[in-house]
Chain A
Amino acid sequence: QAGLTQPPSVSKGLRQTATLTCTGNSNNVGNQGAAWLQQHQGHPPKLLSYRNNNRPSGISERFSASRSGNTASLTITGLQPEDEADYYCSAWDSSLSVVFGGGTKLTVL
């Protein structure tokens, strides 16, 4: 049950665009796509998108997800201070398990 690979940290300026990546393999991201979650310090995670680019109601259009092969991406446009958080990707794996990435800490400068 190997995890997905995410960069530990990304820093971008206010109102800029950040793209976070998540790399898996053909058994998880490449097969089922990925979900993305946002977690602010001291709070539970919140789902931002599932199966690549389906957004739950209430999630801003500034968040968009995509996938190319075994790599999923989350793009956040017009960065705001409240976007500073930890971001996790997740995917169903054919080994009958759910795998998470190690998380990316997004800093908005």
Chain B
Amino acid sequence: QVQLVESGGGLVKPGGSLRLSCAASGFTFSDYYMSWIRQAPGKGLEWVSYISSSGSTIYYADSVKGRFTISRDNAKNSLYLQMNSLRAEDTAVYYCARNLDYWGQGTLVTVSS
């Protein structure tokens, strides 16, 4: 069955960096575009970034453009999100999602001094 497992979240100081990973299994990872979507505590969903199946097409939300970098390794069935210059408003549960049809359980990122 399709499984997406995020990791790499944690507590980081403002201005710091963090790298999230998403391990995919149960489907042909290289056939699907993937997204990162986040949800601040008690708030709604916010799309963060998208990467095409080959990795050749990438889009970002304005709120993270220039600070976050999405990437994938199809040989390792893995999706990544490099987050730099983190701000308090980046505090959220970060989900990786296949299209929108399968989601991981999420990993919590807390940006606080």
Contact = CB atoms under 8 A, between A and B. Distances in A.
Contacts, number: 47
Interface string B26-70: 000000000101000000111100100000000101100000000
The A interface is mostly helix, strand or loop, or mixed, namely strand
B80 interface: no
A44 B106 contact: yes
A46 B98 CA distance: 12
B104 interface: yes
Interface residues of A, number: 21
Given A1-B61, A97-B59, A98-B50, A44 B104 contact: yes
- A37, A96, A98, A99: residue with the most chain B Cβ atoms closer than 10 Å: A98
Interface string A58-93: 000000000000000000000000000010101000
Interface in A42-64: 44-47, 50, 56
A90 B39 CA distance: 14
Contact of A88 (B44, B102, B104): B44
Contact of A100 (B47, B102, B103, B106): B47
Interface of B: 35, 37, 44-47, 50, 59, 61-62, 95, 99-106
Given A88-B45, A98-B47, 14 more contacts: A44-B104, A44-B106, A45-B95, A46-B103, A47-B102, A50-B101, A86-B44, A88-B44, A96-B59, A97-B59, A98-B37, A98-B50, A100-B47, A102-B44
